Amino acid sequence: MKIVFKIALGIIAAVGGFLDIGDLVFNTQAGALYGYDLLWAVLLGTLGIAVYAEMSGRVAAVSNRPVFDVIRMRMGFGMGLVALIASTVVNVLTVAAELGGLAIILQLLFDAEFSMFVVAAAFALVAIVALLPFGGIERLFGYGGLLMLVFVATAIHQGPDWGQVAHGFVPNLHDSKLYLYFVVGVFAAALMPYEVHFYSSGGVEEGWDESSLKENRLNAIVGYGLGGILAAALVVASGFLFHPLGIEPNDLGTVALPAQDAYGETGLLLALGGMLFCVGGAAVDSSFAASYNLAQFLGWEWGRYRGPEKAPRFTFSWLLFLSLAVLIVLSGINPVEITEYSVIFAVVALPLTYLPILMIAGDRSFMGEHANGPISAALGWLYLAVIAVLAIAAIPLLLATNGGGG
C-alpha cells in the first residue's frame, strides 16, 4: 500500500512538474497561430520525453549513474566536454528564462518593479532549496503545478469542436517556415535536456535501485503522459480563444487570459498560481541540472541530499549558475525571447544528451536484463532520428522566421 501511495505521489509530482515556460510560450503561441493543428507535435514531444525519461531513470536505478556520468563514460572527455558546454549554455539560458518568467508572474500578481521580483524570486528559490529536502522541493512545485488543471477545465468549458481537436493530433504539415519553426519549438519544449538531467540525477538523489524500476516507469509514462494533457490543453484553450481573433501572444500574461475568460478572477488566479509553480519548479530543476552536469562530469561530490558541507563545489556552482541567470534577466532581455532562444538552441544540444542515454540503456553488458527491449530500442532510435532532423533544421528556421516573428 505504501509503495502504491509513493508511486501515486511521484506521478502527481511529474504531472504538475511537466510544464515550464517553454511549454507555456510555445504551446500558447502555437494555438493562437494555428488553432489545433500543432497538437500532434505536443503528442510527439510528450511521448519522446516519456521514452527518454524512463530510459535515463532506468539507467540511474540500475547503475546508480546519472546522465552526465553516462555521457562522460560513453563519449569520452572531448565529446563529453562539448556536450557539457552546450548543455550548460542551454541550461543557464533556461534558468534565466524561468527566473524572468517567475518575475513576470509575480509582477502580474503584485504589480511592482520587475527587477525587484527577479532578485526576490532568486532569493526565494535559494530559501526553498535550503529549507526543504529534495522530495519536498519536488512535491511543492509538482503539486502546486496541478493548479494548471484549470486549463483543462477551461478547454472543456469552452466547448471546442472536438472533431477538429481530434484532427489536430494527426500529423499535418503546412507550407510555411513559421509553422515548421513551431513544430520544432513545441516538440523541443517538451524534450528540454534539463528534464532528463534532473530526472536521472533526482533518481540517484532519492536512492533508486532496481526495486524502483516500476516507480520509474509509471512516473515517466503516466506522469509525463498526464502532463502532456496539460500541454495540449494550453494549445486547445489558446486555439479556441485567440486563433479566431488573430491574437499573437507575445507576453507571458496572455497565457492566463483563456482561464480568466472562462472562470473570471478565480480562473485567472488559478492559472497564474499554476504558472508560478510550474515555472518555479523548472527554475529549480534547470539550475540543479546545470550543477549536476558539471559536478558529474568533473567527478565532484554532488547532490542536494549531501548538503553544502559535503558537496561544497556542487552547491557553489548552483549558486553561481543562479546568479548568472539573474544577471542575464536583469540585462533587460525579454524573458519570452530568452525562452524562445533557449528552446531552439536546446534542440541542437539534444542529440548530445539523448544518444549516450540510448546507447547505454541498450547495452546488455552494462544493464543486464534491464537493457532496452525491442519496443524501447525502436522508439529510442526513432526519436533520435526525429531529434537529429530537428537539430539540423532548428537554427536555419530560427533565422528564416526572424525568431518566430514571421
Partner 1 sequence: MRRRGPGLATITAAVAAAIALALAGCGDLSREELNRGVESLSAIAAQGGLIANGVARDATKSTYTRVMAKTLGGEAEHEAEKLADAEPVPDVEEERHAAVRIAGELADLFSELQTFPGDEHHGAVVQEHMAEVKEQADAVVARLTGEPQ
Binding site for partner 1 (CB under 8 A): 107-111, 241, 245-251, 253-254, 256-257, 260-261, 264-265, 268-269, 272, 406
The CB-of-113 to partner 1 minimum distance in angstroms stands at 11
The CB-of-263 to partner 1 minimum distance in angstroms stands at 8
Burial class from Cβ neighbours inside 10 Å (0-12, 13-18, 19+) for residue 126 reads: middle
Q: What is the DSSP letter of 175?
A: S
111 vs 175, which CB is nearer to partner 1?
111
In angstroms and rounded to an integer, the radius of gyration of the C-alpha atoms of the chain is 20
Tell how far CA 44 is from the center of its chain.
14
Rounded to whole angstroms, how far apart are CA atoms 27 and 15?
A: 17
127 vs 400, which CB is nearer to partner 1?
400
Rounded to whole angstroms, how far apart are CA atoms 113 and 89?
A: 28
| End-to-end Cα spacing for the chain | 54
Tell how far CA 191 is from the center of its chain.
6
113 vs 209, which CB is nearer to partner 1?
113
171 vs 244, which CB is nearer to partner 1?
244
The CB-of-238 to partner 1 minimum distance in angstroms stands at 12
The CB-of-265 to partner 1 minimum distance in angstroms stands at 6
The CB-of-111 to partner 1 minimum distance in angstroms stands at 4
CB atoms within 10 A of CB 111: 7
102 vs 256, which CB is nearer to partner 1?
256
Of 252, 269, 270, give the one whose Cα is nearest residue 102: 252
136 vs 406, which CB is nearer to partner 1?
406
The CB-of-188 to partner 1 minimum distance in angstroms stands at 25
List Cβ neighbours of 219 (8 Å cut-off, separation of 6 or more).
Answer: 7, 10, 11, 13, 14, 53, 57
- Residue-wise burial string across 139-159, b where 16 or more C-beta atoms lie within 10 A, e elsewhere: bbbbbbbbbbbbbbbbbebee
Of 188, 187, 176, 250, give the one whose Cα is nearest residue 400: 176
263 vs 305, which CB is nearer to partner 1?
263
107 vs 158, which CB is nearer to partner 1?
107
Q: What is the DSSP letter of 170?
A: S
